[in-house]
């Protein structure tokens, strides 16, 4: 438990410094604890330490973790991994946000399932910012028309963009990718075709989250740095 508390303090301090560099307040940045491969006991330790939002990337791992908590102690959950259309029904009533919308077919399934339970689902569009063959996401050039297409759906709300940057030894190598994401969001908002501004940038993980925050991230997804 002590390691978790110490790790969280280090991360929060680093986020605070990076946020100030970008002219923002630390509370403007949402820390999302990544639970992939992390056991339930460790998740409970993170909750006790003060982490109140978690992100899971595998439906089969998410369900038992979600079911282990009850109100009023249920943390907020986001789905951050690649989501297959046939798995949407298992998460639609359990998560506050889906970070990984990368196709119209998936968006339409989310919209349908959300409508069936009378809710509006907040989503992020996943952008393959570095054009990696191994990554999901749409290209930067496709993003603006994709946002326009999704704005026609009634039971989902596009809140912003997400990316999984390349793995690098030096986090500075990802600064151009994070800068591209920030500029892409600015360009979308400048188009005025959406009926509201997109505000969220989910980018940055354990190895590069400070650089991501400096470049405008509003959400960072951190797993390893929290628990190791």
Q: What is the pLDDT along the chain (228 residues), one digit of tens a residue?
A: 669 999 999 999 999 999 999 999 999 999 999 999 899 999 999 999 999 999 999 999 999 999 999 988 899 999 999 999 999 999 999 999 999 999 999 999 999 999 999 999 999 999 999 999 999 999 999 999 999 999 999 999 999 999 999 999 999 999 999 999 999 999 999 987 656 689 999 999 999 999 999 999 999 999 999 998
Q: How far apart are CA 6 and CA 133, in angstroms?
A: 37
Q: How far apart are CA 157 and CA 122, in angstroms?
A: 5
pLDDT of residue 33: 98
- The third-level CATH classification (topology) of the domain covering 2-227 is TIM Barrel (3.20.20)
8 Å CB contact between 126 and 137: yes
Q: How far apart are CA 201 and CA 212, in angstroms?
A: 9
Q: How far apart are CA 182 and CA 131, in angstroms?
A: 16
Element (H, E) at 7: helix 2-21
Q: How far apart are CA 212 and CA 69, in angstroms?
A: 31
pTM of the model: 0.96
Helix (H, G, I), strand (E, B) or coil at 97: strand
| Nearest in space to 8 (alpha carbons), one of 40, 61, 56, 45 | 45
pLDDT digits (tens, 9 = 90+) for 94-114: 999 999 999 999 999 999 999
Helix (H, G, I), strand (E, B) or coil at 155: coil
pLDDT digits (tens, 9 = 90+) for 168-200: 999 999 999 999 999 999 999 998 765 668 999
| Nearest in space to 33 (alpha carbons), one of 76, 67, 74, 68 | 76
CA angle 37, 205, 60 (to 5 degrees): 30
8 Å CB contact between 163 and 200: no
pLDDT of residue 71: 87
Burial 136-150 (b: 16+ CB within 10 A, else e): ebbebeebeebbeeb
8 Å CB contact between 187 and 162: no
């Amino acid at each position: 438990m002590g390691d978790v508390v110490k790790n969280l303090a280090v991360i929060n301090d680093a986020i605070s410094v990076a946020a100030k560099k970008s002219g923002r307040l630390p509370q403007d940045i949402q820390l999302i604890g990544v639970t992939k491969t992390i056991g339930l006991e460790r998740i409970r330790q993170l909750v006790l330490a003060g982490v109140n939002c978690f992100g899971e990337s595998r439906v089969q791992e998410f369900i038992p973790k979600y079911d282990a908590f009850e109100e009023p102690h249920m943390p907020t959950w986001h789905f951050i991994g690649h989501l297959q259309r046939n798995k949407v029904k298992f998460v639609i009533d359990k998560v506050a946000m889906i970070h990984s919308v990368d196709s119209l077919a998936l968006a339409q399934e989310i919209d349908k399932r959300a409508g069936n339970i009378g809710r509006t689902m907040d989503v992020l569009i996943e952008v393959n910012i570095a054009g990696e063959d191994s990554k999901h996401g749409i290209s930067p050039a496709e993003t603006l028309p994709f946002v326009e297409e999704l704005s026609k759906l009634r039971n989902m709300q596009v809140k912003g963009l997400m990316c999984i940057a390349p793995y690098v030894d030096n986090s500075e190598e990802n600064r151009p990718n994070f800068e591209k994401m920030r500029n892409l969001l600015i360009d979308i908002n400048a188009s005025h075709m959406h009926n509201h501004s997109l505000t969220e940038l989910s980018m940055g993980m354990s190895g590069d989250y400070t650089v991501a925050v400096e470049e405008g991230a509003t959400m960072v997804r951190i797993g390893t740095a929290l628990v190791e």
